[in-house]
Amino acid sequence: MRRGRFAPSPTGELHIGNAFTAVMAWLQMRSVGGGFVLRMEDIDEARCRSDYAAQVMEDLRWLGLDWDEGPDVGGAHGPYQQRQRLPEYEAALRQLQGAGQLYPCFCSRAELVQVASAPHDLFADEPRYSGRCRHLTPVERVSRAEHKRPSLRFSVPDREVIVRDLLFGETRVNPADGGDFIVRRADGVFAYQLAVVVDDAAMAVTDVLRGADLFSSAPRQISLYRALGQEPPTFTHVPLVLDAQGRRLSKRNRSNAVRAMRESGVAAEEIIGVIAYLARLSDSIRPASLSELVERFDLRRLPKRPVQMDESSMRRLKMTESARAAN
């Protein structure tokens, strides 16, 4: 059976862009009779809040989504909050360590910023790690560790992987072009890349649908799946939602939040209607129910570029422009 998931990080309120992704992930599974899992990616305690986690779940339910497994309903592959899954991440690290695929990195933030950017377009927006600490001798590692707690990096195998994406087709990439990445930070927090792979594998997720901003993570995650002896999922990277000015939605503008819309009297069907319009599942903006969209869902209609809200959908959702809201 196909299994999908929505994996929000509870760092703020659910905004219309997050809701768009959640609805697409839910429709993708419900339209084929697949299972759907909700997982709270609350591993970074400094950034995540449990009141946001509760609120995100409530907003998703209010929109009409349901899940077969999740933090509040349990399930056979739990726990469904990353904070409670630390032993699983430890075990994965031990496995990678045992295979000689991890090394401690002592580089400072300043040293990391100096490195040249990655050669591959896909990784162009982030500095590529030079691999400086990869070749330290055991003696050097011990002496450095006396002064600094290291992060742990994954030695990315220099081997091409194929990202299978239901919207973008197949992309061949060598994840080593992006450099070795961190799997546990110096402060001990497990990195997103590791946690997400361990969780999706443990939760038997066959389909990862998420925002297109995470596309460059897919090759890295595939190399981790391989290193852990797991089969990677099929990906679907859906467009990001932009405001009427073409900017990414900001969590700081409260009017982007589903909760704010609800409080100003906007009905869930209005929000679902705008989402369906943005996803090209309807040709006009009108209230819609999730059950009618299940019938009509067709991934091939989804645009590959970011989708932009227009004035009329913003008005329907009682959204205000960021500039005005910031004052």
The annotation status of 48 as a binding-site residue, yes or no, is no
Other beta carbons less than 10 A from residue 323's beta carbon: 11
Do 269 and 63 meet the contact criterion of CB atoms below 8 Å apart?
A: no
162-201 residues in contact with ligand GLU (CB under 6 A) are 196
Q: How far is CA 285 from CA 20, 35, 74, 277, in A?
A: 15, 29, 36, 6
- Of positions 16, 24, 37, 41, contacts ligand GLU by CB under 6 A: 41
The annotation status of 192 as a binding-site residue, yes or no, is yes
Do 119 and 129 meet the contact criterion of CB atoms below 8 Å apart?
A: no
Do 83 and 45 meet the contact criterion of CB atoms below 8 Å apart?
A: yes
- Of positions 9, 28, 155, 223, contacts ligand GLU by CB under 6 A: 9
Provide, rounded to whole angstroms, the least separation between the CB of residue 310 and ligand GLU. Answer: 25
Provide, rounded to whole angstroms, the least separation between the CB of residue 240 and ligand GLU. Answer: 11
Instruction: Give bridge partners of residue 154 from the DSSP assignment.
Output: 102, 181
209-248 residues in contact with ligand GLU (CB under 6 A) are 210, 214
213 or 292: CB nearest ligand GLU: 213
Do 13 and 179 meet the contact criterion of CB atoms below 8 Å apart?
A: no
Report which residue's Cβ sits closest to ligand GLU: 210
- The yes or no reply on residue 285 touching ligand GLU (CB under 6 A) is no
The residue range among 1-9, 90-98, 99-107, 236-244 that interacts with ligand GLU, by the rule CB under 6 A, is 1-9
The annotation status of 9 as a binding-site residue, yes or no, is yes
136 or 214: CB nearest ligand GLU: 214
How far is 127 from 118, CA to CA, in rounded Å? 6
36 or 106: CB nearest ligand GLU: 36
Q: Which residues contact residue 281 at a Cβ distance below 8 angstroms, ignoring those fewer than 6 apart?
A: 288, 293, 296, 297, 298, 301
Annotated binding site for Zn(2+): 105, 107, 129, 133
| Interface residues toward ligand GLU, by CB under 6 A | 7-9, 41, 196, 210, 214
